[in-house]
Amino acid sequence: MTDEFAKHDLHQNPRRERNTLLRKLDGLPEHDTRRPLTATGTNPLDLAKHQATAETSYYSEVLQGAAAGDTTRPQHGN
């Protein structure tokens, strides 16, 4: 039963974070999504791109057992 709870959390936590970010970005005019909001030039679109990259790495490393930084798809049947 513990494995089911762990699996649920592994899927639910990134999904919840993604949905929170998307809700905050939803409805912003395109100009505002691309407008820098920090001294480093970060904008909301950059945050969404970063989140997508981090989530891809998370799922690749944690759920598929891929090496950190290797986001290539595993070859099945080889």
pLDDT, mean over the chain? 80
The answer on pLDDT for 6 being more than 90 is: no
The answer on pLDDT for 57 being more than 90 is: no
Provide φ and ψ at 67, rounded to 5°. -65, 150
- The Cα–Cα gap between 23 and 28 comes to 10
Model pTM above 0.95: no
- The Cα–Cα gap between 58 and 14 comes to 9
The answer on pLDDT for 46 being more than 90 is: yes
Residue with tokens 């290539």: 72
Helix (H) or strand (E) run with residue 3 in it: helix 2-25
Q: Give the mean model confidence (pLDDT) for residues 24-33.
A: 90
